Copies of this chain bind each other. A is one copy, B any other.
Amino acid sequence: MSADLPLDDLRRHGHEVVDYLVDYLARVEGLPVLPAVTPGEIKGLLPPSPPLTGESMDVVLADLDRIIVPGLTHWNHPGFFGYFAVTGSGPGILADALAAAFNNIAMMWRTSPAATELEEVTLDWLRQMLGLPAAFEGVIYDTASMASLCAMAAAREVATDSAARQYGLAVGARLRLYTSEHAHASIEKAAITLGIGLAGVKKIPTDAEFRMDPDALARAIAEDRAEGWRPFCVVATVGTTSMSSIDPIPAIADLCAREALWLHVDAAYGGAAAVVPELRWVLDGCDRADSLVVNPHKWLFVPMDCSALFTPRLDVLRQAFSLVPSYLQFAQMDEVRNFMDYGPQLGRRFRALKLWFVFRAFGVDGLAERIRNHVAWAQEFAAWVDKSPRFERLAPTPLSLVCFRAVRDDFNEGDLNKLNEHLLDAVNRRGRVFLSHTKLGNRYALRLAIGNLRTTLAHVRLTWDELNAALDELNPG
């Protein structure tokens, strides 16, 4: 018995896999974005127990094609416009394959000097691309959910003068964090995780363009202080998930400075736009943030998962989380960066490699050009919506996300919601494109999120045609 797959077999199957995945990317556009499977259908095709003896990779790869791929939602499809569109780009795929082969764990400098230093360098490249100050240092996390959680833990650490780390929150103040009513759900999940609780999160109302209202924020903080709460953190968003609104960071930063609150900016999606010179304004004021997260796995064409946190206060994160057991100590420990020190997770994949591959393959100008196109196409789609009597836009379109709905004069809001739900369902069932939805107040809104690298203007136009055709069917005459 060979211990691992023999290298000759790995080579042969590796070449097959390369051909398979390239062919997949070539043909994915012909597949329905959402698979036509029902709950339990895939499970029913898989044996209930594992095989006792090893099987040939030929069989496994055939089953992949026969059972798994037909049940995938194709996120790497150029017609994927749901949630936020992402990309497993060619350079990123190559890097992830290599990372799995190296299988090195980037927890400490010693366990992978090149991975550690490449993480420092590529994050500094990204910092420069975003126009953030040199004092901002970076850490890669798996997701923005974790990056924001760690930033909030750092804020908690400062607010409790390190009592949180030592004694927990049971003996401490009632901490409160402020974020917009349109903030990502991960902020509330982090508050749950951190022992702050949902009651420790105050949702601040937004203006007509869905941006956090700094006056309402100031009032909430004052009221809370009067009631014995301990305000400790504001999470502002650059590019909210529902409608890509951009909170007024400069005004919020003023307030945070005045109130001595940690300012965390969730720019998981929107931050990438700052790579485009004429869109750099999206991060205005963020040089005054205490932390900011941008997801290269969202709009920077890096495969899942890779989320970058930047902060001028990396020492506070370290203070919050560092805990080095004797079995991990090594001589040069204090001279180097050990990325395990900045969060709850010890094990860390070699994620910097795909950042390096993607940044080098596309270059800063190349990345900017691609993001610029996505924004331009969203504006074009928004203009079609605005010109059409059958549709209306429900939110501004500062970036590459369009929120809109079908309208009919003779329908009330309830009817419109139903119509748009059916419309979305009809378009998604046709399978050529996939859009998602949100609720804006009581209104059911359709979301077109442009972000996949292989999407072209033709796919955006196709979406418009599909929407109109589906609406024709729902709205005859």
A49 at the B interface (CB under 8 A) = yes
Tell me, in angstroms, the Cα distance from A111 to B75 when the chains sit together.
8
In the complex, are the beta carbons of B174 and A361 less than 8 A apart? no
- With contacts A4-B89, A168-B191, A361-B54 taken as known, whether A105 is within 8 angstroms of B75 at the C-beta atoms is yes
In the complex, are the beta carbons of B34 and A68 less than 8 A apart? no
Tell me, in angstroms, the Cα distance from A324 to B189 when the chains sit together.
10
A133 at the B interface (CB under 8 A) = no
A224 at the B interface (CB under 8 A) = no
- With contacts A72-B114, A188-B323 taken as known, whether A52 is within 8 angstroms of B97 at the C-beta atoms is no
- With contacts A71-B113, A110-B73 taken as known, whether A167 is within 8 angstroms of B197 at the C-beta atoms is yes
Of the candidate stretches A282-290, A385-393, A432-440, A463-471, the one touching chain B is A432-440
A186 CB, min distance to chain B CBs, angstroms = 6
Tell me, in angstroms, the Cα distance from A163 to B200 when the chains sit together.
12
In the complex, are the beta carbons of A50 and B172 less than 8 A apart? no
A332 at the B interface (CB under 8 A) = yes
Return the contact of A54 from the options B100, B172, B366, B436 (Cβ within 8 A). B366
Return the contact of A335 from the options B34, B39, B453 (Cβ within 8 A). B39
- With contacts A17-B98, A21-B97, A361-B57 taken as known, whether A168 is within 8 angstroms of B200 at the C-beta atoms is yes
Of the candidate stretches A138-146, A213-221, A257-265, the one touching chain B is A138-146
Chain B: CB-nearest residue to A22 = B11
Interface string of A297-337 (1 = CB under 8 A from B): 10001011101000000000000110111111000100110
In the complex, are the beta carbons of B198 and A346 less than 8 A apart? no
In the complex, are the beta carbons of B75 and A360 less than 8 A apart? no
Q: Within 8 Å CB of A93, what residues of B?
A: 10, 14, 97, 100-101
Return the contact of A55 from the options B169, B172, B363 (Cβ within 8 A). B363
In the complex, are the beta carbons of A42 and B118 less than 8 A apart? yes
Nearest first, the 4 A-B pairs at minimum CB distance are A195-B195, A168-B197, A71-B114, A88-B103
Interface string of A6-35 (1 = CB under 8 A from B): 010111011101111110111000000011
Return the contact of A88 from the options B92, B102, B153, B363 (Cβ within 8 A). B102
Please name 5 pairs of A and B residues whose Cβ atoms are closer than 8 Å in the assembled complex, sorted by A.
A5-B90, A42-B113, A186-B345, A304-B347, A327-B447
- With contacts A10-B90, A87-B103, A197-B169 taken as known, whether A69 is within 8 angstroms of B326 at the C-beta atoms is no
In the complex, are the beta carbons of A194 and B197 less than 8 A apart? no
Q: Within 8 Å CB of A104, what residues of B?
A: 72-76
Q: Within 8 Å CB of A353, what residues of B?
A: 68
A411 CB, min distance to chain B CBs, angstroms = 20
Q: Within 8 Å CB of A323, what residues of B?
A: 185, 188-189, 192
Chain B: CB-nearest residue to A101 = B21
Return the contact of A37 from the options B67, B113, B191, B454 (Cβ within 8 A). B113
In the complex, are the beta carbons of A170 and B167 less than 8 A apart? no
Tell me, in angstroms, the Cα distance from A55 to B359 when the chains sit together.
9
In the complex, are the beta carbons of B76 and A454 less than 8 A apart? no
Beyond A4-B453, A17-B18, A142-B347, list 9 extra A-B contacts (CB 8 Å).
Answer: A17-B97, A21-B98, A43-B120, A53-B363, A54-B362, A145-B345, A170-B175, A185-B323, A192-B321
Interface string of A435-474 (1 = CB under 8 A from B): 0111100000001000001111000000000000000000
A405 at the B interface (CB under 8 A) = no
In the complex, are the beta carbons of A174 and B171 less than 8 A apart? yes
